[in-house]
Amino acid sequence: MDNETECCPRFNPEPWDDKILEWNKKRFIRDTVRTVFHIPLNFGSVMRRLDRNVRKAGAEMEHNLTLSDHTSRWSMDVYLAVDREIPGAENTALSGRFYSKVYEGPFRDTGKWCRDFESIVTSKGLSLRKWFMWYTTCPKCAKKYGKNYVTIISEVGTV
């Protein structure tokens, strides 16, 4: 993550677009980002801290998967998928059935994406539970790659 020219791997949307994911105690480490009206203030420093913890443990990040849970206008929890427990980090796991949909475009379209996501989930006869946003690349890498992919992932149940 320290290499500014290649800090985010290129994202492949195919495995994540319009997919049902079954997670059974999928491992993550969790941290908190300060926000102002949902705009992150210290996202980079939190991600660098998580990255250091993972590297120090000799662990791997899975798919660069980082789920953001916007808990309020002032705070966002981030969940970084890892392959094992990380000493010194807040380890957690997610289990359940999740629906994943990829969007592409400027962040100002987030409201439109969320409405579309709700509509799709409902049309599939599913109910939404816990929502997460996956900002697949930083703004610099999105500009470099020419695509700003954002994936919405939600735990789902049956209606």
- Which structural domains are found in the chain, ordered by start? 15-158 (3.20.80.10)
CA distance 16 to 148: 15
CA distance 135 to 98: 17
Structure-derived torsion over alpha carbons of residues 128, 116, 102, 63, reported in degrees to the nearest 10: -20
CA distance 108 to 87: 37
Would you say the C-alpha torsion 145, 83, 31, 56 has a positive or negative sign? negative
Query: In tens digits, what is the pLDDT along the chain, a chain of 159 residues?
Result: 344 456 889 999 999 999 999 999 999 999 999 999 888 899 989 999 999 999 999 999 999 999 999 999 999 999 999 999 999 999 999 999 999 999 999 989 999 999 999 999 999 999 999 999 999 998 889 999 999 999 999 999 987
Are the C-beta atoms of 95 and 155 separated by less than 8 Å? no
In the chain, alpha helices (H):
43-56, 110-123, 139-145
pTM of the model: 0.90
